[in-house]
């Protein structure tokens, strides 16, 4: 099937993929090339091209692998896993931080035809057991850092027949992945896999309760790769910095590089501005995906002259893109002040939609910063009211999406699936509106909407205003109970480190910049918690403040 020759080595622009996307075979769902097949193809067509680099600045370690070696090692591991029961219809759990070993395990699982179950390394033991009870993995692959925990949990992981360790120094009874690779055949196992067969089972973060299991077919990850590649015009010569955790569907950013045979650099240790800038400079990055907290950290370090641009070679850095949460326009404006020639893009996606690329702003649309853009190449997006009818431009409704990257289901949860996928459309839970040019703007999460005295108040709008205050580093806005109005607005404000900011200053700022009904009635100065994917953890804020004894701001 014809990706071969269009995305490697000689092409000028990843937009040459477009003829593939409109082919009859794709539309009919008969394109059986998987992302694991891409590794095999890359190893044949550009074997010596560097595929992945692993950088550990604190320990001064650097590893790299080319496509030939990566393909060989994943073949060997796939054969070893097949011997241990990782076949079609089975699941293999994977727990670890970003590393080449993690990627070897992930792609090896896919080469067996089994379904990968990447787990959040921040999960508690209770979370891990909960996920294992749902997924019922036959094997469990874990980093050396977590192997003792999994070994201890083993009696509770009832379906797990063997545990495989990545690294060295494992307890008795744990298989050594390196030994398995060394002993197995390097011949690619022939496993026929269709687009609609199970590929990966992802668990949501669990910040709103028990994690949900999101089941994706092979087509979903290929769509993520194509969306990333076409949206950001990847070429083989690109070098991408992958900081976001691989257990999340942000892996779609990395898959754009796999599709064109380009290089991904994994930053596996503390995300510090100096470390990020040094890695960009030394590895000659062309593309970097950042979450809001990481971009804020870099800007603050530049503002305070803790780092200096003149100390780093960023001449190849052509694109910074962001996503995973609403992007404050003020942040992008500050970024462009330091990097005026750099391109910028916003992408929007969701775990249930296969990750990034459902919409993107487009690097040519800098004048629309604040929007999440328009639907990606393989997607359709609508904004609808509570009855599923399209709303007018400028009116707020819920985002619903349709595309080849939509999940198969919430695994073992038909009721939740039926509530989320209706008449072929996935209800995203995000509130949005469109402007006169059709660009989509996120207003807020549906569940975070504040209703005060009958007025709908969208926290993201208030957060974007408050972030313009020069002494505000971050802010999370929630609704708190109020007997007469039902709810009132509470702003949890994280000050810029070293800056003095008091309540009266914020009240004056509210009065100048917000209409009365949107002004926070309560202001708390404290830490704004964010998840590993950069989202403000509103449930934690509500738990901490919504039931507390809050002193109201002067009205």
Q: What is the pLDDT of residue 27?
A: 45
Hey, what are 428's tokens?
């995203």
Summarize the confidence of residues 218-247 as an average pLDDT: 93
Q: 207 falls in which pLDDT band (50, 70, 90)?
A: very low
Q: Encode pLDDT of 345-365 as tens digits.
A: 999 998 899 888 899 999 999
Q: Encode pLDDT of 498-541 as tens digits.
A: 899 999 999 999 999 888 888 999 999 999 988 776 778 888 88
Q: What is the pLDDT of residue 425?
A: 96
Q: 384 falls in which pLDDT band (50, 70, 90)?
A: very high
| Residue 335 is assigned to a structural domain of this protein | no
- Tell me which residue of 106, 71, 70 sits closest to 91, measured CA to CA: 106
Residue 202 phi/psi, 5-degree rounding, is: -105, 140
Q: 42 falls in which pLDDT band (50, 70, 90)?
A: very high
Q: What is the pLDDT of residue 314?
A: 96
| Residue 469 is assigned to a structural domain of this protein | yes
Summarize the confidence of residues 15-33 as an average pLDDT: 53
**DSSP state, 10?**
S
pLDDT at 240 exceeding the cut of 50: yes
Q: Encode pLDDT of 458-502 as tens digits.
A: 788 899 899 999 999 999 999 888 776 778 899 999 999 989 999
pLDDT at 408 exceeding the cut of 90: yes
Q: What is the pLDDT of residue 554?
A: 54
Q: 126 falls in which pLDDT band (50, 70, 90)?
A: confident
pLDDT at 330 exceeding the cut of 70: yes
Q: How far is CA 409 from CA 137, 189, 214, 218, 414, in A?
A: 18, 28, 6, 13, 8
Summarize the confidence of residues 84-101 as an average pLDDT: 96
Q: Are 65 and 51 in contact (CB under 8 A)?
A: yes
Instruction: Name, in order, each residue with C-beta under 8 angstroms of 162's C-beta and a sequence gap of 6 or more.
Output: 84, 139, 140, 175
| Residue 299 is assigned to a structural domain of this protein | no
Total domains, the chain: 1
Q: What is the pLDDT of residue 443?
A: 83
Q: Buried b / exposed e across 78-98, counting CB within 10 Å, b at 16+?
A: bbbbbebebeeebbbbbbbbb
Q: What is the pLDDT of residue 359?
A: 94
CA angle at 406 for the pair 405 and 408, rounded to the nearest 5°: 120
Higher pLDDT among residues 532 and 429, named by residue: 429
Hey, what are 111's tokens?
């080469």
Q: How far is CA 441 from CA 159, 252, 299, 434, in A?
A: 45, 22, 24, 6
pLDDT at 131 exceeding the cut of 70: yes
pLDDT at 1 exceeding the cut of 50: no
CATH number at residue 529: 3.30.300.30
Percent of the chain with pLDDT over 70: 90
Measured between alpha carbons, how far is 293 from 530 in angstroms, rounded to an integer? 8
pLDDT at 343 exceeding the cut of 80: yes
For residue 93, list its beta bridge partners: 117, 140
Summarize the confidence of residues 110-131 as an average pLDDT: 92
| Residue 488 is assigned to a structural domain of this protein | yes
Q: Are 456 and 485 in contact (CB under 8 A)?
A: no
Percent of the chain with pLDDT over 90: 68
Q: Encode pLDDT of 437-453 as tens digits.
A: 999 998 877 788 787 76
Q: What is the pLDDT of residue 418?
A: 95
The range of the structural domain enclosing residue 537 comes to 449-546
Summarize the confidence of residues 255-266 as an average pLDDT: 96
| Residue 489 is assigned to a structural domain of this protein | yes
Lowest mean pLDDT, pick from 65-69, 106-110, 121-125: 121-125
Q: Encode pLDDT of 164-199 as tens digits.
A: 999 888 888 899 999 999 999 999 999 999 899 999
pLDDT at 111 exceeding the cut of 90: yes
Q: What is the mean pLDDT of the chain?
A: 88
Summarize the confidence of residues 228-253 as an average pLDDT: 92
Q: 543 falls in which pLDDT band (50, 70, 90)?
A: confident
Q: Are 356 and 320 in contact (CB under 8 A)?
A: no
Q: How far is CA 38 from CA 7, 41, 221, 359, in A?
A: 10, 5, 12, 24
| Residue 461 is assigned to a structural domain of this protein | yes
Summarize the confidence of residues 141-153 as an average pLDDT: 92
Q: What is the pLDDT of residue 8?
A: 46
| Residue 533 is assigned to a structural domain of this protein | yes
pLDDT at 547 exceeding the cut of 80: no
| Residue 8 is assigned to a structural domain of this protein | no
């Amino acid at each position: 099937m014809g990706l071969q020759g269009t995305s490697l080595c000689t092409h000028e622009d990843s937009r040459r993929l477009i003829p593939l996307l409109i082919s009859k075979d794709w539309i009919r769902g008969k394109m059986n090339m998987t992302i694991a097949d891409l590794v095999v193809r890359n190893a044949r067509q550009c074997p010596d091209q560097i595929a992945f680099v692993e950088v550990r600045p604190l320990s001064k370690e650097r590893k790299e692998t080319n496509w030939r070696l990566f393909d060989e090692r994943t073949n060997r591991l796939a054969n070893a896993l097949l011997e241990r029961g990782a076949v079609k219809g089975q699941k293999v759990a994977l727990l670890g931080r970003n590393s080449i070993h993690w990627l070897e395990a992930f792609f090896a699982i896919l080469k067996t035809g089994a379904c990968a179950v990447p787990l959040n390394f921040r999960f508690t033991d209770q979370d891990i057991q909960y996920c294992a009870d749902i997924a019922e993995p036959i094997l469990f692959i874990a980093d050396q850092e977590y192997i003792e925990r999994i070994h201890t949990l083993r009696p509770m992981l009832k379906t797990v027949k063997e545990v495989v360790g990545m690294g060295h120094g494992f307890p008795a009874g744990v298989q050594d992945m390196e030994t398995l690779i060394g002993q197995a055949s390097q011949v690619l196992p022939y496993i026929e896999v269709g687009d609609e067969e199970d590929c990966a089972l992802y668990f949501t973060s669990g910040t709103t309760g028990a994690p949900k299991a999101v089941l994706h077919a092979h087509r979903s990850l290929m769509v993520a790769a194509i969306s990333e590649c076409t949206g950001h015009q990847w070429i083989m010569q690109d070098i991408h910095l992958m900081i976001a955790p691989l257990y999340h569907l942000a892996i779609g950013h990395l898959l754009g590089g796999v599709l064109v045979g380009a290089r991904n650099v994994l930053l596996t240790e503390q995300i510090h501005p100096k470390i990020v800038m040094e890695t960009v400079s030394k590895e000659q990055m062309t593309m970097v995906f950042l979450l809001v907290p990481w971009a804020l950290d870099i800007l603050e370090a530049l503002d305070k002259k803790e780092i200096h641009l003149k100390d780093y070679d960023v001449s190849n850095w052509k694109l910074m893109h962001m996503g995973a949460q609403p992007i404050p326009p003020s942040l992008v404006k500050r970024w462009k002040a330091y990097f005026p020639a750099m391109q910028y893009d916003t992408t929007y996606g969701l775990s249930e939609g296969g990750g990034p690329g459902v919409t993107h702003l487009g690097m040519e649309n800098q004048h629309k910063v604040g929007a999440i853009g328009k639907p990606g190449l393989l997607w359709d997006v609508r904004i609808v009211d509570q009855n599923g009818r399209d709303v007018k431009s400028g009116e707020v409704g819920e985002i619903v999406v349709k595309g080849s990257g939509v999940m198969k289901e919430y695994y073992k949860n038909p009721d939740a699936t039926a509530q989320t996928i209706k008449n072929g459309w996935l209800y995203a839970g995000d509130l949005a509106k469109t402007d006169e040019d059709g660009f989509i703007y996120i207003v807020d999460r549906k569940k975070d909407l504040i209703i005060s005295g009958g007025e709908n108040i969208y926290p993201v709008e208030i957060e974007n205003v408050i972030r313009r205050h020069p002494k505000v580093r971050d802010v999370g806005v929630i609704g708190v109970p109020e007997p007469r109005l039902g709810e009132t607005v509470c702003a949890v404000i994280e000050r810029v480190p070293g800056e003095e900011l008091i309540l009266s200053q914020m009240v004056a700022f509210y009065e100048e910049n917000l209409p009365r009904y949107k002004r926070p009635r309560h202001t708390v100065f404290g830490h704004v918690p964010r998840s590993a994917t950069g989202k403000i953890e509103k449930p934690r804020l509500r738990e901490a403040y919504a039931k507390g004894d809050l002193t109201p701001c002067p009205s």
